[in-house]
């Protein structure tokens, strides 16, 4: 049992209940949500459905889940607050396990160039792409980057996100990478979200090291990584193993150094070409390998062996007009857990809606709506190494909940746009209440 559950003193109310019962000596819960359906994402059917159910939180954790008719006694006497959800659906709070959300500026002009026929690789080789965002980040202050990034986080929350990963990687020297990571840490302090920071110093070779990739990798390993590890700014390290990024052997050295610092690893692999990055990362027990359009099916057993999650990023596939799809059928058959994420970044995936990624994962990659929902909950938790704490609705896990005005959970992947989120609950507290304009609500 997590320690928080034993904390008898932490009986705070959410303060947003529609009606409130009397506190009694045997009161069991802080908040009880009743008359709802639950997609627990645990159990035998794909959604782990509990119909006509209820869920209770205490001290920030899920304390009870079940059918309404199993709820013994008077609910009012059991909980400090009780909220009637009138048939809405509860899912685990969504988890966006791969984002580059903290940056300065935007790249709409490159979007226009690509629409005229320039490729992402051509733009990158001409000094644009990631490097144009590096210039914007280096020219911006920490406060400016913070101010530009905060609304992006708020947009993510409006689509049900309660936990997300954010990578550095647009600073590409120690001072500027630390600047980005400090912004990420401030966002984690100032918002109710759980934010897991990742160091992506090996995103691309900065201009001052042009043609000297090995020398830059040495700086990443000998200077940047030790400083960032010393300051405890990250929990994981990522790299971009690609023709326009780092070679397989350079990437291997970075992952090896990260492991030596006790950090988890993950990798952008096989996005634009087959560099064998995914299998290499799996050999370092990477939490996830991400993108995978060019993954060879022969390399899938290595992912199984390494216990890696395959993170699918349909936004980048869509924006780049890519035609080669990740080998979803083979991944599914091999039992590799598939997560779905926004890859929110200013170049290849300027996307702030994780629900649209669920839709694209279905339409473009052939996932089922249940797989797409697993991709932003249970499997995304695993991609962050947080599966014991979040990602499913189970007793003892964090009470991170998204409450939706939908009739079936498949609607979450079916509809693009709209505002179906009714409530967002983080650690048992409601952090977004209804976005509805209906009278009386």
In the bound state, the residue with its beta carbon closest to Fe ion is: 343
The answer to whether 348 contacts ligand DI6 (rule: CB under 6 A) is: yes
Q: Which is nearer to Fe ion, 278 or 412 (CB)?
A: 278
DSSP state of 373: H
Phi, psi of 109 (to 5 degrees): -65, -35
Kindly state the tokens that stand for 353.
């809606």
Say how many residues make up the chain.
Answer: 441
In angstroms, rounded to a whole number, what is the distance separating the alpha carbons of residues 256 and 258? Answer: 5
The answer to whether 129 contacts ligand DI6 (rule: CB under 6 A) is: yes
Q: Which does 270 bind (CB under 5 to 8 A by kind): Fe ion, ligand DI6, none?
A: none
- Nearest alpha carbon to residue 383 among 305, 314, 300, 288: 288
Among 179, 253, 266, 268, which residue sits at the site for ligand DI6 (rule: CB under 6 A)?
A: 268
Least Cβ distance, residue 102 to ligand DI6 (angstroms): 12
Q: Which is nearer to ligand DI6, 178 or 241 (CB)?
A: 241
User: Candidates 43-51, 57-65, 205-213, 342-350 — which segment interacts with Fe ion by CB under 5 A?
Assistant: 342-350
The answer to whether 343 contacts Fe ion (rule: CB under 5 A) is: yes
Least Cβ distance, residue 281 to ligand DI6 (angstroms): 14
* Angle, helices 174-190/142-158, rounded to nearest 10 degrees: 50
Q: Which does 237 bind (CB under 5 to 8 A by kind): Fe ion, ligand DI6, none?
A: none
Q: Which is nearer to ligand DI6, 2 or 213 (CB)?
A: 213
* Angle, helices 174-190/130-139, rounded to nearest 10 degrees: 80
DSSP 3-state assignment of 402?
Answer: strand
Q: Which does 133 bind (CB under 5 to 8 A by kind): Fe ion, ligand DI6, none?
A: ligand DI6
Residues 380-419 that bind ligand DI6 (CB under 6 A): none
Residues 178-237 that bind Fe ion (CB under 5 A): none
Residues 288-347 that bind ligand DI6 (CB under 6 A): 316, 343, 345-347
Exposure string over 33-59, b if 16+ CB within 10 A, otherwise e = bbebbbbbbbeeeebbbbeebbbbbbb
Q: Residue 159 burial (CB < 10 Å; 0-12/13-18/19+)?
A: buried
Catalog residues that contact Fe ion under the rule CB under 5 A: 343
Chain residues that interact with ligand DI6, rule: CB under 6 A: 100, 129-130, 133, 240, 268, 271, 316, 343, 345-349
């Amino acid at each position: 049992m997590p320690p928080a559950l034993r904390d008898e003193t932490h009986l705070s109310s959410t303060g947003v209940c529609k009606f409130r019962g009397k506190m009694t000596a045997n009161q069991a819960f802080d908040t009880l949500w009743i008359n709802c359906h639950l997609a627990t994402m645990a159990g035998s059917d794909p959604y782990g459905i509990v119909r006509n159910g209820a869920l209770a939180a205490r001290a920030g954790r899920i304390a009870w889940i079940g059918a309404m008719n199993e709820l013994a006694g008077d609910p009012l006497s059991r909980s400090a607050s009780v909220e009637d959800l009138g048939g809405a659906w509860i899912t685990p709070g969504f988890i966006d396990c791969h984002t580059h959300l903290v940056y300065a500026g935007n790249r709409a002009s490159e979007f226009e160039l690509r629409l005229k026929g320039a490729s992402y690789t051509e733009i990158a080789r001409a000094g644009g792409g990631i490097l144009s965002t590096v210039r914007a980040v280096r020219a911006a202050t920490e406060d400016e980057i913070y101010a530009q990034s905060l609304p992006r986080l708020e947009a993510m929350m409006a689509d049900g996100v309660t936990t997300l990963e954010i990578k550095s990687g647009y600073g590409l020297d120690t001072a500027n990478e630390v600047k980005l990571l400090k912004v990420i840490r401030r966002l984690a302090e100032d918002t109710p979200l759980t934010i897991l920071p990742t160091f992506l110093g090996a995103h691309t070779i900065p201009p001052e090291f042009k043609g000297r990739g090995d020398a830059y990798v040495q700086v990443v390993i000998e200077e940047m990584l030790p400083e960032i590890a010393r300051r405890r700014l990250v929990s994981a390290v990522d790299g971009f193993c690609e023709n326009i990024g780092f070679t397989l052997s350079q990437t291997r050295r970075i992952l090896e150094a990260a492991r030596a610092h006790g950090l988890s690893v993950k990798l952008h692999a096989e996005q634009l070409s087959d560099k064998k990055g995914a299998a290499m990362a799996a050999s370092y027990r990477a939490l996830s390998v991400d993108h995978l359009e060019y993954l060879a099916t022969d390399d899938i057993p290595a992912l199984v062996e390494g216990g890696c999650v395959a993170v699918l990023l349909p936004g980048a596939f869509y924006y780049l007009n890519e035609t080669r799809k990740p080998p979803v059928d083979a991944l599914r058959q091999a039992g590799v857990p598939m997560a779905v994420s926004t890859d929110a970044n200013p170049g290849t995936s300027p996307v702030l809606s994780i629900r649209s990624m669920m839709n694209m994962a279905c339409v473009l990659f052939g996932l089922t709506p249940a797989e797409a929902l697993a991709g932003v909950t249970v499997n995304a938790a695993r991609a962050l190494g947080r599966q014991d704490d979040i990602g499913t609705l189970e007793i003892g896990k964090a009470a991170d909940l998204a409450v939706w005005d939908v009739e079936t959970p498949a609607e979450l992947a079916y509809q693009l746009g709209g505002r179906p989120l009714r409530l967002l609950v983080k650690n048992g507290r409601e952090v977004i209440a209804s976005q509805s304009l209906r009278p009386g609500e």
